[in-house]
Amino acid sequence: MKKFITRVLILLVAVASVSSCKTVRKLASNNNVYSVQDDVQLGKEADAQIKADTKNYTFLKSSDPNYRQVNAYVDKVMRKILSANAVPYETEFNYNVQVLKNDVVNAFATAGGYLYFYYGLMKMLDNEAQLAGVVAHEMGHIAFRHATNEMTAQQITGGLVSLGLKIGGAGETAEQVAGLAYNLAFLKYGRDAEEEADRNGAAWMAKTDYNPYEMQGFFKKILDSDRSPEFLSTHPDPANRIKYIGEVLKKMGAKNSGKTYTAEYQAFKKQLY
């Protein structure tokens, strides 16, 4: 982590004369100051913090009778997306999904491979292919390193102190890592990052046996539902996403067929209580 502090300083000096906010942002996303290893370390630290925050996050516990089956099911979906052999950092990152029992219609990803899925979202979906669409999207955030891109952008625009970096202090590395990781669960990605995750997620899905158009099915459900305010507050307009996902898949020549695993998913949903 010491190395990246040096990189932050170098980058700050490098962009000190850039005054346009837009230019700074563009520079930032092309020049992630964190290393791939930093993504892994920050994701791991954030995971520990999220687990410690028992007030907000209720993880499905290993003592829960459905623990093994539920986790294995979601993990299987993630592995199938990985099997497309197109997801960046497949070996460098620790791709893993964890299940939260909160009745929230959302999912999120931090960095270095850590994905989180809420019961509320999984209960709302109709089939496994729709779940795969959301899994692929969240994997897109990880694979394109949106968290550390965003953190790079925020540091450059003056958020260095609020991110917990105490430059020059001795023996504060663990504290610095903790301070930085704390931001991961609260980052809001820009529209470009969301679109990048959608487009690539759809393309990965098209390389599996799932019907990739079911990724649109998920957004249609969000549009029809009145119980997805959390999702809408952290994600762009679903109608727009339905449109460009369709364009990506058409351009790829992806067929609007393939498996949905509806019966399997309905059986899986019965375990989510």
Least distance in Å: CB of 197 to Zn ion?
5
Nearer to Zn ion, 140 or 212 (CB): 140
Nearer to Zn ion, 212 or 238 (CB): 238
Least distance in Å: CB of 64 to Zn ion?
27
Nearer to Zn ion, 147 or 156 (CB): 147
Within 184-203, which residues bind Zn ion (CB under 5 A)? 194
Nearer to Zn ion, 11 or 122 (CB): 122
The secondary structure of the chain as a DSSP string is -HHHHHHHHHHHHHHTT---HHHHHHHHHHS--S-HHHHHHHHHHHHHHHHH-TTT--BPPTTSTTHHHHHHHHHHHHHHHHTTS--TTTTTS--EEEEE-S--S-EEE-STTEEEEEHHHHHH-SSHHHHHHHHHHHHHHHHTTHHHHHHHHHIIIIITTTTT--TT-SS-HHHHHHHHHHTGGG----HHHHHHHHHHHHHHHTTSSB-TTHHHHHHHHHHH-SS-HHHHHHS--HHHHHHHHHHHHHHHT--S-SB--HHHHHHHHTT--
Least distance in Å: CB of 133 to Zn ion?
12
For Zn ion (CB under 5 A), the number of binding residues is: 1
Nearer to Zn ion, 39 or 194 (CB): 194
- Closest residue by beta carbon to Zn ion: 194
Least distance in Å: CB of 107 to Zn ion?
8
Least distance in Å: CB of 109 to Zn ion?
8
Binding site for Zn ion (CB under 5 A): 194
